[in-house]
């Protein structure tokens, strides 16, 4: 029997272990969390259970003021912070079930759209299949700590897990040339409902 319920703190260990299994097979995340992230903004956090075992998760942080953290700023939206289904249960419609449950919860908060950001080619294909609108594409780099001051000075610093660089300036390109990993293309999609 499947059910989608609100996440609660008693599920943290099982949630973290599931997320680690999903992360191990995805290019979306750069790291594994040891604890579930707590959000600064209002959020909806759901889990999908099959026979009392968590096999899927979705977290959406949503805006109270349009443009406060979503890319698009024409109306209040949500950013999907976590989304995945256990690898052995993928391609069975469980992701769509989680999306539908999330949509209903967001609509109850007067939110009519959600943004998804991913570096994973399988996720990009999934969002394209669902006809989500591509809203932006950029490169993610990992930056050496000694280059951060320069990027801050150039007003290109964005204190998130990766950094978006949009410039052809030689000094800036020099600052990122020694990034420990190759750049990853990150796609943003919008889902309106």
What is the predicted pLDDT for the residue at 160?
Answer: 45
In order, the DSSP letters of 114-125 are: EEEEE--HHHHH
pLDDT digits (tens, 9 = 90+) for 42-101: 999 999 999 999 999 999 999 999 999 999 988 999 999 999 999 999 999 999 999 999
* Half-sphere exposure of residue 33: CA atoms within 13 angstroms, side-chain side: 16
- Domain spanning 2-136+187-192: CATH 1.10.150.130: no
What is the predicted pLDDT for the residue at 38?
Answer: 94
Nearest 5°: phi and psi at 177? Answer: -65, -25
Q: In 3-state terms, what secondary structure has residue 107?
A: helix
CA dist., res. 149 & res. 184, Å (int): 22
Contact criterion met (CB below 8 Å) for 128 and 34: no
Residue spans per domain, the chain = 2-136+187-192, 138-184
What is the predicted pLDDT for the residue at 74?
Answer: 87
**Which pLDDT band holds residue 26 (cuts at 50, 70, 90)?**
confident
What is the predicted pLDDT for the residue at 138?
Answer: 79
Segment 17-34 shows an average pLDDT of 82
Long-range contacts of 20-27 (CB under 8 A, 24+ apart): 21/86, 21/87, 22/57, 22/84, 22/85, 22/86, 22/87, 25/87, 26/84, 26/120, 26/122, 26/123, 27/119, 27/120, 27/121, 27/184
pLDDT digits (tens, 9 = 90+) for 130-181: 999 999 887 766 666 666 677 667 765 554 444 444 455 566 556 555 554 5
Residues 6+ apart with CB under 8 A from 139: 164, 165, 183, 184, 185, 186
What is the predicted pLDDT for the residue at 144?
Answer: 60
What is the predicted pLDDT for the residue at 165?
Answer: 47
* Half-sphere exposure of residue 168: CA atoms within 13 angstroms, side-chain side: 0
What is the predicted pLDDT for the residue at 185?
Answer: 83
Instruction: Please say if the pLDDT value at position 186 is more than 60.
Output: yes
Contact criterion met (CB below 8 Å) for 42 and 106: no
Q: Would strands 133-141 and 163-164 be described as parallel, antiparallel, or unpaired?
A: antiparallel
Segment 21-48 shows an average pLDDT of 87
């Amino acid at each position: 029997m499947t059910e989608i319920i609100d996440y609660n703190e008693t599920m943290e260990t099982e949630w973290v272990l599931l997320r680690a299994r999903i992360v191990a097979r995805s290019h979306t995340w750069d790291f594994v969390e040891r604890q579930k992230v707590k959000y600064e903004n209002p959020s909806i956090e759901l889990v999908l259970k099959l026979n009392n075992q968590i096999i899927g998760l979705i977290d959406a942080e949503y805006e109270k003021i349009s443009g406060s953290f979503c890319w698009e700023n024409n109306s209040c939206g949500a950013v999907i912070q976590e989304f995945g289904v256990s690898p052995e249960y993928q391609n069975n419609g469980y992701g769509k079930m989680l999306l539908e449950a999330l949509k209903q919860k967001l609509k109850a908060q007067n939110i009519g759209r959600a943004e998804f950001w991913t570096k994973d080619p399988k996720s990009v294909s999934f969002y394209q299949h669902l006809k989500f609108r591509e809203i932006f594409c950029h490169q993610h780099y990992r930056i050496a700590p000694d280059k951060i001051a320069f990027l801050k000075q150039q007003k290109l610093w964005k204190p998130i897990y990766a950094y978006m660089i949009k410039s052809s300036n030689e000094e800036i390109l020099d600052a990122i040339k020694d990034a420990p990993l190759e750049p990853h293309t990150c796609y943003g999609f919008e889902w309106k409902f």
